[in-house]
Amino acid sequence: MRMRWLRFFFFPIFPFFVLFFLMRCDVAAEQFVFPWVAKQTGAEAYYHRGCICLQGGRSDSYDCAIENFSHAIEINPRYDEAYNLRGYAYFTGKGFYERAIEDLNRAIEINPRFAAAYCNRGTVYINKGSHDYDRAIEDFSHAIEINPRYAEAYHIRAMAYYLKKEYDKAWEDVHKAQDLGLQVRYRLLKDLRQASGRDK
C-alpha cells in the first residue's frame, strides 16, 4: 500500500536560495527578488527561472517551471540539471510518472554520477502504479555509492525497505540517516516501530 506521506519526499537538490513566500514566475518578480536572474541569458536564464517557478507549489507554477526547463533543454540538450528538475515538476506537480522517468533517465545518461537524479527516479518508482520497490532501492543505492554521506538517500531507501516489509534493513538505513544528522520523519518511525515490533 502506498503511503501518502511518501510523495512529500521527492526532492531535488536546488542550487539556489529557497524562497520563504509564494512567487509567480514573471519578469517583475525576477527583477525584484533575483536581479541576477533577469540579467542572465540563454539556457542558464531559463533554468533559474524554472527554479523560481517551482517555489510556487501550485499547478500553474509547475507549468511555468516545465516551460522554462524545456526552453533550457532546447538551447542545451545536455543540461542534466534541467532534465532532473523538469522530471521533478512532471512528477510532483502533474503526476506524469513516465515523463518524469524519461527526464530522469536522460539526466543520468548525461551525468552518471548525478546522485539527486537517482534519488528522484527512485521516488517515482515507489509512487507509480507498479510500486517498483526493487528498482527504487537500486537507485537509492546508486546515489549512496556516489555520495556515501547522502542522508536523504538512506532515509528514502529506509521507506522503500519498510514498504517491502524488510524491517531490519529499514532500521539500518534509519540509523545511518540519523548518524548523518538527518531528522527522520516521525510517521516513518511510528509505522516502522509498529510493523517491526522494535523501538529502534
Please give the pLDDT value at position 39.
Answer: 56
Q: 114-200: what fold?
A: 1.25.40
What pLDDT tens digit does each residue of the chain (200 aa) get?
A: 344 334 334 443 333 332 322 333 333 344 444 554 555 668 988 998 899 888 877 778 899 999 999 999 999 999 999 999 999 999 999 999 999 999 999 999 999 999 999 999 999 999 987 789 999 999 999 999 999 999 999 999 999 999 999 999 999 999 999 999 999 999 999 999 999 999 88
Decide whether 27-112 matches 114-200 in CATH topology: yes
Grid cell digits, residue 133: 520497490
Contacts of 42 (CB under 8 A, 6+ apart): 75, 76
Q: All 3 cell numbers of residue 189?
A: 518511525
Instruction: Give the C-alpha separation, 183 to 189, whole Å.
Output: 10
* φ, ψ for residue 39, nearest 5 deg: -85, -15
The domain limits of the chain are: 27-112, 114-200
Quick one: pLDDT at residue 1?
Answer: 39
| Residues ≥6 apart with Cβ < 8 Å to 22 | 55, 56, 57, 58, 61
> What fold does the segment set 27-112 form as a domain?
1.25.40
| Contact by Cβ (8 Å): 69, 86 | yes
Is the torsion defined by CA of 167, 114, 124, 47 positive or negative?
A: positive
